[in-house]
Amino acid sequence: MPAPRLRTTPLPGIGVQYELTTRRHDTLSVVAHRDGTRTLNVHHDDDPDSCGLSVRLTGAEALTLTESLLPSHNNPNLLHTSDFGLLAERVTVTGDSYWNGRQLGETKMRTATGASVVAVMRRAHPVPSPGPEFRLRGGDTVIVIGTREGVDAAHAILERK
């Protein structure tokens, strides 16, 4: 079977469309919009104008989906949090968040939830193990690790308006 090909089509004023036809003749397409969102579409090759599924994803959702399609299970040194009953999730601090401009320690997250902030992504630059004096900003992506309950509680804290 030949290697799959990804077709790229510029969409002026919109972004770029990527299409992959599967061996079963289904076509998966992703429209990468200029605003950073993505639209995932599935249709049959016999009628490319009909769409069986169309899902609009935020940039963070698209990244999460990408990571699920390309897991790094081949690295024996990689810890999988699920092996320990833990999980890691991203929480985005919005520009209108209560925490925008405030110190991480003010959230009292670890005390209140048992979850830990292990890193913050700021404009594609990682800040590992930020201390309590670290100031959160709108657009930051906070990486939280803990139990399901703890991570859910951390979401609730960080999503405060």
Q: Which residues of the chain have pLDDT under 50?
A: 1, 77-78
Task: Report pLDDT for 129.
Answer: 92
Can you give the pLDDT at residue 29? Answer: 84
Distance CA 106, CA 68 (A): 33
pTM of the predicted model over 0.75: no
Structure tokens at 53: 């599924």
Tokens of 157: 């804290």
CA distance 66 to 92: 18
Q: What is the pLDDT of residue 80?
A: 55
Q: What whole-number distance in Å separates Cα of residue 44 and Cα of residue 77?
A: 41
Q: Measuring CA to CA, how many Å separate 158 from each of 69, 71, 95, 105, 109?
A: 27, 27, 12, 12, 9
What pLDDT sits at residue 22? Answer: 78
